Structure 1
Amino acid sequence: MSRTYRHCLEYKKGLIPPRTEIFRVIDGEGEGYPDVFVDRLGDRILVSTRDCAVPVNLGKELAELDVPVFHKRLEQNQKEAPVQIAGPILPLQFEAEEQGVLFRLDMSAGYSQGIFLDQRDHRRRVRERSRPGMKVLNTFAYTGAFSVYAALGGAQTTTLDLAQPCLEWARENFRLNGIDPSGQYFCKGDVLHWLERFARQGRTFHGIILDPPTFSRDDRGRVFRVESHYGELVSLARKCLERGGWMLCTSNCRKLSHSDFRRMVEAAAPGARLIHDPMPADFTGEDYLKRLWVDWK
């Protein structure tokens, strides 16, 4: 039986860390709404649906809250921005807090609004693993959320992404948290190319985050598919890792099973200790996110 939004909101507030206003309220079947996902993003609400409409009862309840409500169809082009369906008109760009860390979010952006909610616990652990004197590489960095957390832990970060607007967005996130981006590194380009370059240069890191898209193609036409090439990515990154360092290996590819993902990482990281941790407590539905901490002694 589906629960009301208000009921789910109060329940989820008891599960998330303090000073967090970015979290999942309704996670599909976990709350009795198959293929419907509702996220709280500060004082805005994002409803995402997969091959279905917004349930009538849920849409009516959300419309009565007097907050901006947006809808995104997951079966359509993932780059399409959400459409506002209820509530007052507020600026599309705004700031919101996660675990005491500020991020700029953008309801006019396609693909994502600036942060991936299912990585919240990993971001906290990256901060806990980072300290002064460490170097952390954040690949496929998007808006640099992992980089911000690592820098708050004291590490010097390298933020790597193919899109220049994402790197500028990451710089803004640093500034929001009182971190001078000029003291950090930013690299634009293909991750595999940069990892090869870092290895040739002998440039190493104490921590590396690997969270690639499920599919990509570089400017040379080389195709990357997570289910086929994730092990290659780990092998390349391993060459850039300091002895005693760590990697965070994750993927949201639903075609890839947890066991196959682990086998790929194990084959590319022989002798490493692998740690699998749970999904965030507000994600009560499908266990889709593959995630492993890889530690070398």
Structure 2
Amino acid sequence: MANSIPLLTPQHWKDYELIDCGDFEKLERFGDHVLIRPEPQAVWPKGLTEEEWTKRHDIRFKGRSATSGDWLRKRPGLPDRWHINYRNADVSIRFRLGLTSFKHVGIFPEQAVNWDYIAETVKTFRTKRPKVLNLFAYTGGASLIARAAGADTTHVDSIKQVVTWANENQALSGLSDIRWVVEDALKFVKRELKRGNRYNGIILDPPAYGHGPKGEKWKLEDHIAGMMKDVVGLLDPHEHFLILNTYSLGFSSVIVENLVRAVYPQADNLETGELYLQATAGSKLPLGVFGKFRKIGQP
């Protein structure tokens, strides 16, 4: 009998809904607005009719190139920016969304699975004020969750504009004192190793490709093994968690498992699997693979 791969999907969203996906697009509700965006993973036919998609959506992204495009509004007055909330059993946070030229809106809803794990783990730790490091941190969903759960949180991203965006989300969420770092993640990790710093939690959600603030090149398959070897050196040996999330068509949960085992064979409670969003119309949309483990201190 074949081993089944764990498939996880968010359970607590009220302000987000994947309505349908297919034909390389997805129909999504973010708060009060329904968007159509490209989705390269949705290779199957749509569950709803084109007429239903046209009727339901407010705003549609149309690409001009492989990396940029325009938002087409169905009617005047639809905003460029708006807010949504996320709440689970432990914490509540708030986001500012925005229509960017590269189809993103400032949040990856499937990451709520990892947010729940972060909040639960931080609140379970015996360390009074655990230290959490969020690398490739984008607009800060994981950083906000960690801080709201009581962690001393450091947020690292190479793009100044998204760190500023994350700071806006901190204020919207009624939080403070997140440490903001605009730097290449690889360089930051190596510097922290030299300083002898340790963290109780580390979160990585690296892109397939990217650039640092000084033009440093990042390619997931070329750099992730070396980076993971350095990252696990930052873990507090007594109480910790680590989450690695990858969104790359070439990565599987087996690759992530092998990677984690190679650099940290003593990992307790290692879980690997795939994140997905469940469409109301029926399809499951795969959105990356994860590996995570934790160690809770003894009483």
Q: Taking structure 2 as the reference length, what is the TM-score of the superposition?
A: 0.81
Pair 1:21 & 2:47 matched: no
Superposed CA deviations along residues 240-291 of structure 1, whole A, max 9, x for unmatched, are 1111311101101111222222212211112113112553552643545110
Counterpart CA distance in 2 for 1:50 and 1:113 is 14
Q: Note if 1:36 corresponds to 2:25.
A: yes
Q: Say if 2:263 is the partner of 1:268.
A: yes
CA–CA separation in structure 2 for the residues paired with 1:221 and 1:97: 34
Change in Cα spacing, 1:236 to 1:72, as seen in structure 2 (3 Å) is farther
Which residue in the other structure is 1:70 paired with?
A: 60
Deviation string 1:81-105 (CA, Å, 9 cap, x unpaired) is 5512424432211101222421000
1:141 is paired with a residue whose SS is coil
What are the superposed Cα offsets for residues 34-71 of structure 1, whole Å, 9 maximum, x if unpaired?
4221221111122123579x97x744324434x62222
Q: Which residue of 2 aligns with 1:121?
A: 113
- Please identify which structure carries the higher helix content: 1
1:224 aligns with 2:214: no
Does residue 176 (structure 1) correspond to residue 172 (structure 2)? The answer is: yes
Deviates more, 1:270-279 or 1:248-257: 270-279
Q: Find the counterpart in structure 1 of residue 6 from structure 2.
A: none
1:103 maps to what in 2?
95
Could you say what secondary structure the match of 1:205 adopts? Answer: coil
* Secondary structure of the structure 1 residue equivalent to 2:248: coil
**Structure 1 gaps, min length 5:** 1-14
Aligned to 2:294: 295
Comparing 87-96 with 165-174, which one deviates more in the overlay? Answer: 87-96
Q: Which residue of 1 aligns with 2:4?
A: none
> Highest relative contact order (Cα 8 Å, sep 6+), 1 or 2?
2
Give the equivalent residue in structure 1 for 2:180.
186
Which deviations, in whole Å up to 9, do the C-alpha atoms of 1:179-222 show, x marking residues without a partner?
Answer: 12xx2211111000000001111111100001111123446765
Q: Secondary structure of the equivalent of 2:72?
A: strand
**Equivalent in the alignment of 1:161:** 157
Say if 1:247 and 1:294, in contact at 8 Å, map to a contact too.
yes
CA distance in 2, matches of 1:36, 1:262: 30
Residues 140-162 of structure 1, C-alpha deviations (whole Å, 9 max, x = no match): 01101100011111111100001
Q: CA RMSD in A?
A: 2.8
2:82 aligned to 71, 83, 94, which one?
94
Q: 1:271–1:296: 8 Å Cα contact kept in structure 2?
A: no
**Identity over the aligned pairs, expressed in percent?**
22
The TM-score normalised by the length of structure 1 is 0.81
Establish whether residue 130 from structure 1 lines up as the match of residue 122 from structure 2.
yes
Deviation at 1:171, TM superposition (A): 0.9
1:271 maps to a residue whose letter is: Q
Partner SS for 2:284: coil
**Matches of 1:279 and 1:219, distance apart in 2:** 29
Aligned to 2:244: 249
Taking the aligned partners of 1:177 and 1:63, their CA distance within structure 2 comes to: 34
List per-residue Cα deviations over 1:85-131 (Å, max 9, x = no partner).
42443221110122242100002352521011121111122111124
Amino acid at match of 1:126: I
Partner of 2:3: none
Decide whether aligned partners of structure 1 residues 72 and 45 sit closer, same or farther in structure 2, where only a CA change above 3 A counts. farther
Distance 1:157 1:77 in 2: 35
Q: Which amino acid aligns with 2:96?
A: R
* Distance in 2, Cα, partners of 1:34 & 1:118: 20
Contact 1:22 1:42 in 2 (8 A): yes
Q: Which runs of 5+ in 2 are unaligned?
A: 1-8
In the alignment, which residue of structure 2 is the partner of 1:210?
A: 204
1:140-155 equivalences under 5 Å are 140-155=136-151
**Corresponding position of 2:229:** 235
For the residues of structure 1 that align with 2:157 and 2:232, how far apart are their CA atoms?
Answer: 19
